[in-house]
Amino acid sequence: MDKIVIRDLRVKGILGIYAHERVTPQEIIINVTLYADTRKAGETDEIADCVDYEKAANLLKTHAETAQRQTVEALAEDLAKLCLALPGVQGTRIGVEKPQAVSFTASVGVEIERFKR
């Protein structure tokens, strides 16, 4: 399966279980791989045959900024469902990271893969 990537989508949102995380939006980094067959788009060179990665990025950004989830796992599941609903997408890999979560790390987070059944 071909891959469409969105790297280092940076958003600010409420994400976490601690009181201070529930008040002030923090940076969240999202990495996405969309699995799709891109052959037709490659042959026709028509945008109508492509997966709309700008739409995907905007959907993910909006959701991450407004969802106010407690865990990165829950946010990752939300984002995977949004990706799988996009036309042409057969699967997705979602990474959600919190750069400020653990002070002595660059970031911590989860990465999941989900596919249409």
Q: Which residues are catalytic?
A: 98
16: left (phi over 0), alpha (psi -120 to 50) or beta: left
Nearest to 94 by CA among 25, 22, 28: 28
Torsion sign (Cα): 45, 39, 114, 116: positive
